[in-house]
Amino acid sequence: MTDPDPAVPVHDVELDACGLSCPLPLLKAKLELNRLTSGSVLLVKASDAGSQRDFRAFATLSGHSLLHEEVSGGVYSYWLRKA
């Protein structure tokens, strides 16, 4: 068993939005964030490349923190901390 990568934040909830076109991954993430308490971390996985632009802008405008993002095998992953 390998140790988790310390650069990747621990998340409280995971949302799989793979297969959905923008803006649906972001809309689903917003709904999920509304259910979470302040300080919770949401991991969103999406397959639409346009989600990069959407999640970066959303974090800036909403006040939530985009803690980390990565791309692997065509899956875009975003860790958001609720404000």
- What is the pLDDT, as a whole number, of residue 29? 98
d(CA 34, CA 40): 11
Question: Catalytic residue at 22?
Answer: yes
Q: Which residue among the candidates 18, 20, 22, 36 is catalytic per the annotation? A: 22
> pLDDT truncated to tens, each residue of the chain (83 aa)?
555 677 889 999 999 999 999 999 999 999 999 999 999 999 999 999 999 999 999 999 999 999 999 999 999 999 999 99
Contacts for 18 with CB less than 8 Å, ≥ 6 apart: 45, 46, 47, 75
Domains along the chain with CATH numbers? 13-81 (3.30.110.40)
Question: What are 74's two structure tokens?
Answer: 């065509």
CB of 54 within 8 A of CB of 26?
yes
Q: Please, where are the H alpha helices in 1-83?
A: 24-35, 51-62
